[in-house]
Amino acid sequence: MSGLQAEMAAKALKLNIPLSVQLDLTYRCNELCIHCYLDHDDHGEMTTAEIKDLLDQMAEAGVFYLTISGGEILMRRDFFEILEHARARTFCVKLKTNGVLIRKKEAERLRALGVETVQISIYSHRPEVHDAITKMPGSFRQSIDAVRFLRTQGLTVTLANVLMVQNTHDYLGVKALAAELDAKFTVDPTITPMMDGDRSILKLNMDQAALQEVFRNEDLVGNVEEFCAPPQGVDEEALDMLPCSAGHTACYVSPYGDVYPCVQFPLPTGNVRRTRFVDIWRDSPQFKEVRSITLRDMPSCSKCAHGATCTRCPGLAYMEGNMRGPSSQDCEKSYARTGVPSENYKARHASPKPFQSLNLIQIQGLQPAERNFPAQMIEGIVARA
């Protein structure tokens, strides 16, 4: 996050404004990815009119960054109508898609509508591996064709490379492919539980050795020594730290209108079919509880050496049963990164219990979004840029 973005986020936090929202238009998909956490059946998606009304409400509430995701977003026949409405409300729009349904005509429309970024999931530079993960023959070729169509239009494209057992070592190949296509690249060794709580897909997670390899790859993490530095402990200032933006300046809305702190934090806070978005955001007891939690309120993490630098995901902690507790997956990650066990890690390994999520890992911000900011902007009555 740039300095200016951080400044805006701090201001949004102070003003209690939901600066960023991820809106999933559908859970339906034309791929059948082996690691997907969604139920793809349609259980009553919001209508076009409901989504447009929600977009109006979100604009009024101050939402600026809008990530439109799914499911596969182009499975909605009204996708472009929704996108056009969103852009008319001047959201900064990022799309997440597999790209299979994006051809020249769609790329031209996306360009005309001024989306900021299109993120396309690519699992491997090897077509047979990608297609085996999506369970859709020919999907690699179609997704790469989409990248080319989008780049021809001058759109910013990011290849998102989710890593798992099947493609553990393919990130360098995908990174090279991204360079060849003049696209950005992000890697995410994260396999999360199904939204219904089924944890069976966690067996697809990479093992510790593979994770350590990722953490020590300079091309991915930058300064390895700094990235893998031992934790410095927790001081008074750190105890007042907030866990992450979920529920503070960001939230997630499902295709059915349910509002959650984050796509990975399935704590129900309300439904926009019954309550206005801004009222859920401001008044939901669940949001208020999430906002009340600092590191000081976390019995285990506040005493852990990693407390101040851990990438603990409150959503994964919640899915383990306690939003004030540790996220064991992130404890595993901290250990793989630094070689120093967390308090939770030590406790678990002192009395090991069968627990499928021990290999679940998550990386956020390995490759922060690049933005160009002019060194100076406008003198006179413009404050800063």
Sole window of 165-173, 219-227, 356-364, 368-376 interacting with another protein (rule: CB under 8 A): 368-376
Q: What is the DSSP letter of 295?
A: G
β-pair partners for 118: 95, 157
Q: How far is the CB of 23 from another protein (least distance, A)?
A: 15
Stretch that binds another protein, among 9-17, 133-141, 216-224, 313-321 (CB under 8 A): 9-17
| Contact pattern for another protein over residues 95 through 114, marking x by CB under 8 A | -------------------x
Which residues between 21 and 60 bind another protein (CB under 8 A)? 59-60
DSSP 205: S
Of residues 65 and 335, the one with the C-beta less far from another protein: 65
Provide the minimum distance between the beta carbon of 258 and another protein in the complex, in angstroms, as a whole number.
24
3-state secondary structure of 376: coil
Q: Are 93 and 112 in contact (CB under 8 A)?
A: no
Q: Are 191 and 202 in contact (CB under 8 A)?
A: yes
Q: Map residues 61-80 to x or -, x wherever contact with another protein holds by CB under 8 A.
A: -xxx----------------
By C-beta, is 41 or 379 nearer to another protein? 379
E-assigned strand segments in 87-237: 92-97, 117-121, 157-162, 184-188
Stretch that binds another protein, among 90-98, 100-108, 283-291, 328-336 (CB under 8 A): 90-98
Binding of another protein by 209 (CB under 8 A):
no
With tokens 């999907």, the residue in question is 139
Does 2 interact with another protein (rule: CB under 8 A)?
yes
Pick between residue 179 and residue 377 the one whose CB is nearest to another protein: 377
| 101: number of Cβ within 10 Å | 15
Applying the rule CB under 8 A, the residues between 144 and 163 that interact with another protein are 156
Q: How far is the CB of 102 from another protein (least distance, A)?
A: 18
**In this structure, what token pair is assigned to residue 77?**
């026949």
Among residues 92, 101, 195, 241, which is the contact residue for another protein, using CB under 8 A? 92
Does 288 bind another protein (CB under 8 A)? Our answer is: no
Joined tokens for residue 329 = 């997956």
What's the CA gap between 18 and 40, in Å, rounded? 27
Strand, coil or helix: 282? helix
Q: Using the rule CB under 8 A, which residue among 49, 209, 350, 381 binds another protein?
A: 381
CB-CB neighbours of 292 under 10 Å: 9
Cα dihedral sign for 223, 229, 235, 238? positive
d(CA 378, CA 380): 7
Q: Site residues (CB under 8 A) for another protein?
A: 2, 4-5, 7-8, 11-12, 15, 17, 19, 59-60, 62-64, 88-93, 114-117, 156, 371-374, 377-385
